[in-house]
């Protein structure tokens, strides 16, 4: 059986300060055969230029995480697509774990997450995120979602919405199969919790999800969240 090739797709926006360090941490995976694709959402800084030093492919797309991830998937050569946030660190065994999951019949999945930061309570947030995902079959982008190319294409990819694209994608994929929930952790930055405060961030995210569940437009939610992917 051939070892499945893995493409790591990283959507970025104004990450010039950290992109070189983020990509440097992925060079070991390149040595193991992984393809590294950076998709810049028309950053206002020199993120793309810095990324070209260490990525196999750097491209630009319209701004918006879903659009950027779909653009990266369209260029990817791998049998498995792994979508990674720029502030998230994969465990050293990531490729081995993903390949094993796919080899055992899984068509998509995610990692457990550990949130790194200086404020108290982030461990409990991560614990709840991981168990909620196990119970619901819904993964978040912070958990480094991976999916076979065939399953991704059958799903139609990420919906072109400014927020909740990971939730909708997971719901689509869950109809095909329950996700492989890897217990190995990715480590993601707690910067948004540190910036806005732990309780405020939790309440904001739950309020957005509740409104989305009851039919609120993702565009309206993005405006309320202060996220404007088109740069307006």
**CB–CB of 64/21 below 8 Å?**
no
Q: Does the pLDDT of residue 1 top 70, yes or no?
A: no
Q: pLDDT tens digits for 42-93?
A: 999 999 999 999 999 999 999 999 999 999 999 999 999 999 999 999 999 9
Q: pLDDT tens digits for 132-167?
A: 999 999 999 999 999 999 999 999 999 999 989 999
What CATH architecture does domain 6-189 belong to? Answer: Alpha-Beta Complex (3.90)
Which of helix, strand or coil describes residue 17? coil
Which of helix, strand or coil describes residue 232? coil
Q: Does the pLDDT of residue 231 top 70, yes or no?
A: no
Domain boundaries along the sequence of the chain: 6-189
- Six-digit token string for 212: 């989305």
Q: pLDDT tens digits for 98-111?
A: 999 999 999 999 99
**Structure confidence at residue 144 (pLDDT):** 98
In this structure, are strands 88-89 and 80-83 parallel, antiparallel, or unpaired?
unpaired
Secondary structure letter of residue 145 according to DSSP? -
């Amino acid at each position: 059986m051939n070892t499945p090739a893995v493409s790591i797709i990283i959507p970025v926006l104004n990450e010039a300060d950290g992109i070189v360090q983020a990509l440097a941490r992925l060079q070991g995976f390149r040595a193991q055969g992984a393809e590294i694709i950076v998709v810049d959402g028309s950053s206002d800084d020199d993120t793309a230029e810095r990324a070209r030093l260490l990525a196999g492919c750097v491209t630009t797309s319209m701004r918006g995480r879903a659009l950027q991830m779909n653009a990266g998937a369209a260029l990817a050569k791998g049998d498995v697509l792994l979508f990674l946030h720029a502030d998230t660190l994969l465990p050293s065994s990531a490729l081995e774990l993903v390949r094993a999951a796919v080899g055992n019949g899984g068509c998509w999945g995610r990692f457990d997450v550990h949130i790194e930061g200086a404020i108290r309570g982030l461990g409990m947030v991560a614990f709840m995120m991981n168990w909620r995902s196990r119970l619901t079959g819904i993964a978040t982008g912070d958990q480094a979602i991976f999916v076979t190319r065939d399953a991704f294409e059958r799903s139609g990819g990420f919906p072109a919405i400014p927020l909740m694209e990971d939730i909708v994608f997971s719901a689509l994929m869950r109809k095909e199969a329950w996700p492989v929930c890897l217990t190995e952790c990715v480590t993601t930055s707690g910067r948004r919790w540190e910036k806005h405060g732990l309780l405020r961030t939790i309440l904001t995210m739950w309020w957005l999800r509740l409104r989305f569940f009851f039919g609120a437009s993702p565009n309206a939610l993005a405006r309320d969240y202060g996220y404007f992917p088109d740069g307006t």
